[in-house]
Amino acid sequence: MTTRRLTEHLPFGEKRDPRFFGQDILSVSQFDREDLETIFEVAHEMYGMVERIGTFDLLKGKVLTNLFYEPSTRTSSSFVAAIERLGGSVVQINNVTYSSVSKGETLQDTVKTMESYTDAIVLRHPEKGSAALAAAAASKPVINAGDGPGEHPTQALLDAYTIREEMGAIDGLTITMLGDLKYGRTVHSLAKLLTLYDVKINYVSPDILQMPELLVKEVDAAGIDQYETTDLDDVLADTDVLYVTRIQKERFENPNEYDMVKDSYVITPETLTMAKESMIVMHPLPRVGEIATEVDNDPRAAYFRQMEYGMYVRMALLALVLGRA
Amino acid sequence: MTTRRLTEHLPFGEKRDPRFFGQDILSVSQFDREDLETIFEVAHEMYGMVERIGTFDLLKGKVLTNLFYEPSTRTSSSFVAAIERLGGSVVQINNVTYSSVSKGETLQDTVKTMESYTDAIVLRHPEKGSAALAAAAASKPVINAGDGPGEHPTQALLDAYTIREEMGAIDGLTITMLGDLKYGRTVHSLAKLLTLYDVKINYVSPDILQMPELLVKEVDAAGIDQYETTDLDDVLADTDVLYVTRIQKERFENPNEYDMVKDSYVITPETLTMAKESMIVMHPLPRVGEIATEVDNDPRAAYFRQMEYGMYVRMALLALVLGRA
Amino acid sequence: MTTRRLTEHLPFGEKRDPRFFGQDILSVSQFDREDLETIFEVAHEMYGMVERIGTFDLLKGKVLTNLFYEPSTRTSSSFVAAIERLGGSVVQINNVTYSSVSKGETLQDTVKTMESYTDAIVLRHPEKGSAALAAAAASKPVINAGDGPGEHPTQALLDAYTIREEMGAIDGLTITMLGDLKYGRTVHSLAKLLTLYDVKINYVSPDILQMPELLVKEVDAAGIDQYETTDLDDVLADTDVLYVTRIQKERFENPNEYDMVKDSYVITPETLTMAKESMIVMHPLPRVGEIATEVDNDPRAAYFRQMEYGMYVRMALLALVLGRA
């Protein structure tokens, strides 16, 4: 990975990449492969910096609004740690319903107020399209941290970055997605992002939770080889990256159907005896039994490292949109 | 505006203005015109500093308690951003009912505990007089961020500072207050503060929401020319500053009465065709329809800039009471 | 008190005391007297540092997770102020039930996620043993900030440190514990910690709220002289440290019993006329009437200073486990 020397930027003022500086991060589809390379390079720099010295005053003086209309401890904490590790600070807004909004303020007005105080806005909102609405109202960068059934682009970016850090490269890999592929926002976004690479994708799910046909067609149009099955054994031996997601009981009309399938998608140490030595297991977390805790000590268990990589990706995005990388 | 060079203070240690250092900010009535000049000068310095370099370590090492017994996203966030932009940090306490206080601790004990950890306390509390109670118990500065039907002095200060920044000076202006003038705490405090200046004030409201007679007398005693009407058209053409407030449905015993008046106090682009080119429209926000969003792009729409000025005023107050300006 | 010169450490990199660096703080019983001396020396340095210059970048670049599964404004705020006064920052997680955990995530997974973002974890949890569970899962330091009926070691440490700062030394003192000695976690932990010193302990409580026999035996085995009474007058004149705790009405099956005893354990200015000039009154706070507010101005009232000392002890612990003291 070519290294951008962030340390050189600081004394000479801001370095502004026009593809990112002042821009919003709303959807994975806004990026081409070169954009991803840039994000991953900067994230890798952040990784090295945190490992070596823990902090870096790249965003000193920058204040971030972390505006969460619904709770998401993981995403919220990751952004807080990201801005703080860059020397910036954060205005945290939780439980928004218990605030101005309950007085009827629009999202746009809240966002315009917060940008009058701070330099960028991370937004988590339960309604699809809300991030785009906020971005249209704001003149400062808005980062979509999940808009309901819409997008969660930083999750997809951290997933792709995890694959790259762990496997060295994304091209040439076989990626198996497991679990709820119908409703799982993370696997949808990751599949879209992977169309920028030369990969093979396997889908393993119960019949009623298959990857949506429209998305399969979109991925196919990009020339990606896809394979669908209900049985992990069919594809496990060839898998380089096993991306596990949670199957929610609520998705099943008939609870018995859930009970029938849930155990066949649980990863245990036994499962991994049939997998490559060099493969990795990912999961967006939280997990509720889909991966046995006994797997955690296996070096192939990458899901907690994945959380850490998420912080580096968010550090990179903040530095890029604020013109410091 | 004469400029106090804050940057010169830092290397030579703390500069302590005895009118502010260690003092509480409880009510607009504690200030004379010279005090306001000082606050506005320092706020203007803060403005320039944030525009130029974003941050400034004037309050490095200072920790602020932001103690909110009731939610106020806007005010709370403004103080957080203010202390962070000065290099200080914050201990945020929200939802106090869900904490020690539910164990029956008095406000005074909570305040005395928090001042043992931090350097100043911003207090928002639903009961009138609570800020004064807290200040009497504390030996460190207490800043009243709203005590129910009592005062909200930093709001009045930011309103006056907004007029000054936007119009160049306050003396000589015609200020029109519109909406709920009976219950609106912000217009009461602003009217009091304006008695320190040479202005004309117009009050436009439904009959049942007129400015309280007592306050009108107080303002009159200061030699201020006042005019009362139910019709904005009477005064709009002469208005330099139009201060819009929200009319709350709850104020009307009869909902029909509300429906009858609400639309006549809505500002639209059409309204502004009859106003001066050089005037400004202010609003304490949140708004719920009192100003059409189509007005936002008019350069006279000052309400989001007003939010930003609020942060500078709070930065100035923090620097002053902590002895660094 | 021999002084460890923290200021000398910074330029030469991290100084790592192997008894503390990377360790968890789970229970008072993990410390010997030499450990306490170290903690108190560092806390005393922190005290002097805050008094003189307010802040110190000893933990710059360090990020702390403050993970509170139940509210505790005092403890939480104290840790926030502690890390911020050392130049570090914090990821605050409150109301955990309203987050991932409500999606069923285990404490261990939450802790492993948070340690991927941050450098240490402060944990408050309603279940006994939870801190040890979290520490077993984490590879970074976990500090127990109260695990239900279990331990709250930083409270005991700050209590002992308060005695030391206020009285000069702990050896040779007569310490009287008053109130609910049966259920009071703080007095249990403090009594255990005091077995490392040469003290006399008096217990004053209603019969039904006496110190548990098992604990009395443990303290006795350490050679500590103990005396039990229902009447403060028996021991007040000889008392050097009066540690007052709250009697909770809920503890009594019969409310009348509560009404009978509650007033006899209230400290007033009159109470103190019978006490030594050099003694101190402590209380873990919050108080609900056990100490009359008229006592606050007596120089012997040490309970708000005790809060402040708590911050220094937490600063010391953070610096020690993070390898900077």
Express each pLDDT in B79-93 by its tens digit.
Answer: 999 999 999 999 999
Side chain identity, residue B203: Y
Gap from A293 CA to chain C (nearest CA, Å): 9
* Percent of chain B residues topping a pLDDT of 70: 93
Closest listed residue to residue C65, CA positions, set A81, A87, A131 = A81
Reported as a single tens digit per residue, the pLDDT across B18-40 is: 999 999 999 999 999 999 999 99
List of chain C residues whose C-beta atoms are within 8 Å of the C-beta of residue A304: 112-113, 116
CATH number reported for the structural domain that contains residue A182 in this entry? 3.40.50.1370
- The three-point CA angle C284-C286-C287 to 5° equals 95
List of chain B residues whose C-beta atoms are within 8 Å of the C-beta of residue A91: 77, 80-81, 84
Q: Is B66 touching C (CB cutoff 8 A)?
A: no
C118 with C79: CB under 8 angstroms?
Answer: no
Q: What is the pLDDT of residue C55?
A: 73
Gap from B19 CA to chain C (nearest CA, Å): 23
Q: What is the pLDDT of residue B55?
A: 73
Closest listed residue to residue C284, CA positions, set C38, C82, C72 = C72
DSSP code of A112?
Answer: H
Neighbours of A290 (CB within 10 A): 19
Q: What is the pLDDT of residue B95?
A: 67
- In angstroms, the CA B56 to CA B10 distance is 10
A111 with A138: CB under 8 angstroms?
Answer: yes
Residue B146, helix vs strand vs coil: strand
Name the one residue in this structure whose structure tokens are 């840790």.
Answer: C79
* A297 and A170 share one domain: yes
Q: Say whether B113 and C307 touch across the interface (CB within 8 A).
A: yes
Asked if the structure places residue C127 within a domain, the reply is: yes
Asked if the structure places residue A52 within a domain, the reply is: yes
| Confidence category of residue C16, pLDDT binned at 50, 70, 90 | confident
* B162 and B297 share one domain: yes
Q: Say whether B116 and C293 touch across the interface (CB within 8 A).
A: no
* B67 and B133 share one domain: yes
* A89 and A176 share one domain: no
Q: What is the pLDDT of residue B179?
A: 95
Reported as a single tens digit per residue, the pLDDT across C80-108 is: 999 999 999 999 998 665 444 446 789 99
Q: What is the pLDDT of residue B97?
A: 57
| Residues 6 or more apart whose Cβ sits within 8 Å of residue A13 | none
Q: Is B78 touching A (CB cutoff 8 A)?
A: yes
Specify the number of domains making up chain B: 2
* B138 and B191 share one domain: no
List of chain B residues whose C-beta atoms are within 8 Å of the C-beta of residue C92: 92
CA terminus-to-terminus distance, chain B: 16
* C118 and C142 share one domain: yes
How many residues are listed for chain A in this entry? 325
Q: Residue B159 phi/psi, 5° resolution? A: -65, -45
Question: What are chain A's partners, defined as 3 or more CB pairs within 8 angstroms?
Answer: B, C
Reported as a single tens digit per residue, the pLDDT across B196-247 is: 999 999 999 999 999 999 999 999 999 999 999 999 999 999 999 999 999 8
- Residue of B92, B286, B308 with shortest CB distance to A109: B286
> What strands lie across the sheet with A241-244, from one edge to the other?
A225-229, A200-204, A174-178, A241-244, A280-282
Its sign, for the CA torsion B281, B286, B292, B293, is: positive
Q: Pull the structure tokens for residue C2.
A: 């021999």
Torsion of the alpha carbons at A70, A75, A80 and A86, rounded to the nearest 10? -150
C200 with C176: CB under 8 angstroms?
Answer: no
Backbone angle region of C129, left / alpha / beta, with phi > 0 → left and psi within -120 to 50 → alpha: left
Closest listed residue to residue B57, CA positions, set B324, B307, B323 = B324
Q: What is the pLDDT of residue A318?
A: 98
What HEC string does chain C produce?
A: CCCCCHHHHHHHCCCCCCCCCCCCECCHHHCCHHHHHHHHHHHHHHHHHHHHHCCCHHHCCCEEEEEECCCCHHHHHHHHHHHHHCCCEEEEECCHHHCHHHHCCCHHHHHHHHHHHCCEEEEEECCCCHHHHHHHHCCCCEEEEEECCCCCHHHHHHHHHHHHHHHCCCCCCEEEEECCCCCCHHHHHHHHHHCCCCCEEEEECCHHHCCCHHHHHHHHHCCCEEEEECCHHHCHHHCCEEEECCCCHHHCCCHHHHHHHHHHHCECHHHHHCCCCCCEEECCCCCCCCECHHHHHCCCECHHHHHHHHHHHHHHHHHHHCCCC
* C143 and C175 share one domain: no
| Residues 6 or more apart whose Cβ sits within 8 Å of residue A282 | A159, A162, A163, A241, A242, A243, A244, A302, A303, A306
* A107 and A167 share one domain: no
Q: C207 pLDDT exceeds 80?
A: yes
Q: What is the pLDDT of residue B2?
A: 42
Q: C5 pLDDT exceeds 50?
A: no
Q: B5 pLDDT exceeds 50?
A: no
Asked if the structure places residue C137 within a domain, the reply is: yes
Side chain identity, residue A269: P
Q: What is the pLDDT of residue C251?
A: 80
Asked if the structure places residue B1 within a domain, the reply is: no
* A167 and A125 share one domain: no
Gap from A92 CA to chain B (nearest CA, Å): 8
Mean pLDDT across C244-261: 85
- In angstroms, the CA B319 to CA B325 distance is 5
- In angstroms, the CA B37 to CA B323 distance is 17
- In angstroms, the CA A322 to CA A313 distance is 14
Higher-pLDDT residue of C315 and C18 is: C315
- In angstroms, the CA C189 to CA A219 distance is 62
Q: What is the pLDDT of residue C121?
A: 98
- In angstroms, the CA A242 to CA A300 distance is 10
Q: Residue B67 phi/psi, 5° resolution? A: -105, 105
Helix, strand, coil content of chain A in percent (nearest 5):
50, 15, 35
- Residue of A71, A81, A308 with shortest CB distance to C63: A81
B132 with B107: CB under 8 angstroms?
Answer: no
Asked if the structure places residue C141 within a domain, the reply is: yes
Q: Does residue C286 have a cis peptide bond before it, meaning omega lies within 30 degrees of 0?
A: yes
Q: Which domain holds residue C160?
A: 154-307
Asked if the structure places residue A1 within a domain, the reply is: no
Q: Pull the structure tokens for residue C80.
A: 């926030």
Question: What are chain B's partners, defined as 3 or more CB pairs within 8 angstroms?
Answer: A, C
Q: Residue B203 phi/psi, 5° resolution? A: -115, 125
Secondary element (H or E) of residue B227: strand B225-229
* A222 and A130 share one domain: no
| Residues 6 or more apart whose Cβ sits within 8 Å of residue C316 | C39, C40, C42, C43, C45, C46, C325
Burial of B243: CB neighbours in 10 Å, binned 0-12, 13-18, 19+: buried
Rg for chain A, CA atoms, rounded? 20
Over the range B124-161, which residues count as b (16 or more CB within 10 Å of their CB) and which as e?
bbeeeebbbbbbebbebbbbbbbbbebbbbbbbbbbbb
B84 with B60: CB under 8 angstroms?
Answer: no
Asked if the structure places residue B36 within a domain, the reply is: yes
What HEC string does B56-89 produce?
A: CHHHCCCEEEEEECCCCHHHHHHHHHHHHHCCCE
Name the one residue in this structure whose structure tokens are 């085995």.
Answer: C221
Torsion of the alpha carbons at A64, A68, A74 and A77, rounded to the nearest 10? 30
* Percent of chain C residues topping a pLDDT of 70: 93
Q: Is C18 touching B (CB cutoff 8 A)?
A: no
Higher-pLDDT residue of B16 and C78 is: C78
- Residue of C61, C101, C112 with shortest CB distance to A54: C61
Which residues of chain A fall below pLDDT 70? 1-15, 95-103
Q: What is the pLDDT of residue C14?
A: 53
Side chain identity, residue A151: E
Q: What is the pLDDT of residue C96?
A: 66
Q: What is the pLDDT of residue B16?
A: 85
Residue from A60, A63, A77, A312 whose CB has the most chain C CBs within 10 Å, to mutate: A77
Name the one residue in this structure whose structure tokens are 């203005």.
Answer: B17
| Residues 6 or more apart whose Cβ sits within 8 Å of residue A250 | none
Mean pLDDT across C288-316: 97
DSSP code of B253?
Answer: S
- Residue of C72, C92, C288 with shortest CB distance to B104: C288
Q: What is the pLDDT of residue C24?
A: 98
Q: Say whether B288 and A108 touch across the interface (CB within 8 A).
A: no
Residue A217, helix vs strand vs coil: helix
- Residue of B89, B108, B113 with shortest CB distance to C74: B113
| Mean model confidence pLDDT for chain B | 91
Higher-pLDDT residue of B174 and C105 is: B174
Chain B and chain C share a number of CB contacts under 8 A equal to 70
Asked if the structure places residue C1 within a domain, the reply is: no
* A143 and A170 share one domain: no
* A108 and A243 share one domain: no
B132 with B111: CB under 8 angstroms?
Answer: no
